[in-house]
Amino acid sequence: MKTKLIILICFLSTMTLCSQISHGLRDQQDRHIIPRGFVINTNDHKGEVFFDNDDYARMVRMGANTQVIRLELGKLSTFPGGKLEPNYLKKLDTLVDLGRHHGIKTVFKMTVYGVDKFVWEEFWKNKKGEYSTYIEAWEVIWNRFSDDDAVFGYDVVNEPRRLTMNISYDDLTRKYLVPLYQKIIDQSHKINPIKKILFQSVFMNKGEKIDNNQYSEIKVPINKENIIFAPHIYQNNIDLIKRNMDRFDKESKMLKAPIVIGEWGFPTFATTDTLVGGNLGQLKYRELYIRTAEVFDRMGVGAIKAWFLGNRSMQHFLPGGPSTWSIFSDSIAAGTVERKYITDVIARPFPQTIAGDIQSFFFNHATRTLEMSIKTDNRKGASKIFVGANRHYPDGFSILIDSDIVMFYDPLKNVGLETYKSTKKLESSNFIWDANTQKLVILKWPKDNVVMNIKIVPGIRNFDK
């Protein structure tokens, strides 16, 4: 009887959390947040990479509220060839501070680069105390940023591998990976239990995809608090994107952990910048990225794009020729020339930080329409919606709230938001257009503790139709 009552309540009232998307996270004010941003490399194949204040301003104007900084194990640990480098820690301090200044939260992700060699088979067997050495490297980061509110969490093992071990992926996950995660989480939470721990599944050997997903399935729970499932998806078959994400969704429910896509976006080939049509052309990539983004948004998951880099180096492991995950095409480390056939999709409008609960959101790339359903809660502060008007609405945009409020922004007049239609309860001063960050800031919703349906559409007369 109790179960039937709960179902009935969910059916009768869309104002409850029953219809809320399941993968959103919460900030310190308990606002609903959707993490989006970029993987930040501290080096590439040609050496160190440095970013400045202008680079972070560009990230924000592309919708970033989260950065994932790739850590080098060789600069933090005593694995062979590695040592703790104080200047490297200062560099990390700078990147966190730049993020903080621009409202970008930081996640650290450990890679196994920078050591003489890292043999996964030896690591899993742990005969020389490899787990302790690995955790000690993490403890350097945990202790340094324990009280730093700008650091959101830690992605603790990047793309764990099996390689030549004579063991199934299921057994590797159950016997080695999950127990290691539990050990890492316990040690991290001794220092600060509030920090989130992000985790991934095993990255399978080349050619060993299961159901066209290169990441093996986690089938046993981790049973820890403050965890986030952070799978990667580099799927280049449009028809398989949703199937892959549905499996991740199934895992997240078993793990009782929301999803944030830790990396995404099939790499771009060197020829793609000049090839418009065809299998490797820009139109194909745009369609692939749009379909991937649509699945993400329907699920309500955040996603981090690799990489915020220029084309200083290329990878050589795909049959289509040299390729890269870099989103800029110029040959410098911190690039500026966008590959717009993918960046316009990456930098699409979305509800970034919401005082209340996001029930659903979706950006239609064809009509340039962002639709959102939000249950408001003014006790939690201001809300921020990334609009990206400079790239998506050069013709201006209009904001439609339910059927009784219409506001618009005319880029020719450049006087901020104007009200076309409103209710007596609307205080237009609570709606602010921030051109620097390309965000719509709502200081207070016109209606509290209700579900509001909001649209952002192109043009300043679109609402007259």
pLDDT in tens, 136-150: 999 999 999 999 999
What is the model's pTM? 0.94
Distance CA 405, CA 15 (A): 20
What is the set of domains in the chain, with CATH numbers?
A: 33-347 (3.20.20.80), 356-464 (2.60.40)
| pLDDT on residue 210 | 73
What does the pLDDT read at residue 24? 76
Mean pLDDT of the chain: 93
Convert 131-168 to b/e letters by CB count within 10 Å (16 or more is b).
bebbbebbebbbeebeeeebbbbbbbbbbbbbeebeee
Whole-number pLDDT of residue 11: 32
Q: State mean pLDDT over 331-355.
A: 97
Averaged pLDDT for residues 199-210:
88
CA distance between the termini of the chain:
48
CA distance 351 to 391: 17
Is the pLDDT confidence value at 319 over 80? yes
10 Å Cβ neighbour count for 226? 15
Q: Which residues of 35-64 are buried (b: 16+ CB within 10 A; e: fewer)?
A: bbbbbbbbbbeeeebebeeebbebbbbbbb
Please state, in angstroms and rounded to a whole number, the distance separating the CA atoms of residues 125 and 169: 15
**By three-state DSSP, how is residue 253 classified?**
helix
pLDDT number for residue 42 = 95
Q: What is the pLDDT of residue 6?
A: 35
pLDDT computed for residue 465 by the predictor: 53
User: Taking the mean position of all CA atoms in its chain, how far away is CA 61?
Assistant: 15
User: How many Å apart are CA 227 and CA 117, to the nearest integer?
Assistant: 29
Q: Tell whether the model's pLDDT for residue 85 goes beyond 70.
A: yes
16 pLDDT above the threshold of 50: no
Strand ranges for 14-104 from DSSP E: 25-26, 32-33, 36-40, 43-44, 47-48, 66-72
Query: Could you give the percent of the chain with pLDDT greater than 90?
Result: 87
Instruction: Compute the average pLDDT of residues 292-315.
Output: 95
Tell me: pLDDT of 231 over 60. Answer: yes
- pLDDT for residue 448 is more than 90: yes
Q: Would you say residue 416 has pLDDT above 70?
A: yes
pLDDT at position 3 is 38
**Both tokens assigned to 391:** 């790239």
Q: With 70 as the cut, is the pLDDT of residue 430 above it?
A: yes
Q: Which two tokens stand for residue 431?
A: 């709606």
pLDDT band at 425 (very low <50, low <70, confident <90, very high): confident
Separation CA 43–CA 54 (nearest Å): 19
Residue 317 to residues 103, 203, 263, 278, 421, Cα–Cα distance (Å): 36, 16, 18, 21, 56
Strand order across the 350-354 sheet: 25-26, 32-33, 350-354, 383-386, 439-442, 431-434
**Residue 244, φ and ψ in degrees, nearest 5:** -60, -45
Q: 210-219, 243-252, 279-288: which range is least confident on average? A: 210-219
| pLDDT score recorded for residue 464 | 62
- The CA distance from 236 to 204, in Å, is 17
Backbone φ and ψ for 48, nearest 5 degrees, come out as -70, 150
Alpha-carbon distance of 38 to 309, in angstroms, equals 10
Task: Indicate the pLDDT class of residue 19, thresholds 50, 70 and 90.
Answer: very low
- Axis-axis angle for helices 241-255, 282-299 (nearest 10): 30
Strand partners, 52: none
In terms of phi and psi (left: phi > 0; alpha: psi -120 to 50; beta: otherwise), the region of 106 is beta
pLDDT surpasses 90 at 204? yes
* Confidence at residue 9, expressed as pLDDT on a 0 to 100 scale: 32
* Residue 223 pLDDT exceeds 70: yes
- For 95-116, the pLDDT digits (tens) are 999 999 999 999 999 999 999 9
Q: 325 pLDDT band (50/70/90 cuts)?
A: very high
Q: Is the pLDDT of residue 330 over 50?
A: yes
The mean per-residue pLDDT over the stretch 264-274 comes to 94
Give the confidence band of 7 by pLDDT, cuts at 50, 70, 90. very low
In this prediction, residue 200 has a pLDDT band, given cuts at 50, 70 and 90, of very high
Q: Which residue has the tokens 């199937």?
A: 243
Model pLDDT for residues 392-407, shown as the tens digit of each residue: 999 999 999 998 999 9
Residue 15: pLDDT over 90: no
> For residues 107 and 375, what is the distance between their CA atoms, to the nearest angstrom?
28
pLDDT digits (tens, 9 = 90+) for 153-180: 999 999 999 999 999 999 999 999 999 9
In the numeric block, which tokens belong to residue 429? 């001063």
